Structure 1
Amino acid sequence: MVNQESQTQDTVPICEHEEEISCRVKKKLDSLSRQLLEFNEKTFDPFMQEITKRIEEQDNANNELRSEIDQQNITEKKIIMC
């Protein structure tokens, strides 16, 4: 019986210690997660904004070209009909 009491007393501090370590690890992970999100926002937001700007510019240029082609097709049809 004495052995069981000794073992039980030994495991309680270990469990409390494990809980404390687990709590510290969770807090550290939360902190690192927030830092990573902030870093990603600072790093990738400008990059994504630049890509979005380029895509919009290209889209506008494509729309202008499409409009010019449509106008040329209309003009050619008018010439052919005459």
Structure 2
Amino acid sequence: MDIMDEFPEMRGCFIVMDNAPVHIPEAIVKGKVKRSKLSDVESLTTRIIEASEAVPVEHLRVIIQHSVNQFGNCLNKVAI
């Protein structure tokens, strides 16, 4: 089951993250997760958490607002 399927109004919809400027947090997290080989005392989960915490709050606000602005398009199945 897709995470979007948990919300009946979003069933069959997808969120696509690409290299659009609004997706900067994704790039920050990917860059920090891939930075080097994991050490013996570090787990992938730990690295993802650390990378996520490095994303500035303002970037998160921007992506959340962008997502909210696009819900109508998704509900109406409008390609963006």
Category of TM-score, reference length = shorter chain? under 0.3
TM-score between both structures, scaled by the size of structure 1: 0.24
| Larger RCO (alpha carbons 8 Å, 6+ apart) | 2
Q: State the structure with more CA Rg.
A: 1
TM-score between both structures, scaled by the size of structure 2: 0.25
Larger relative helix fraction: 1
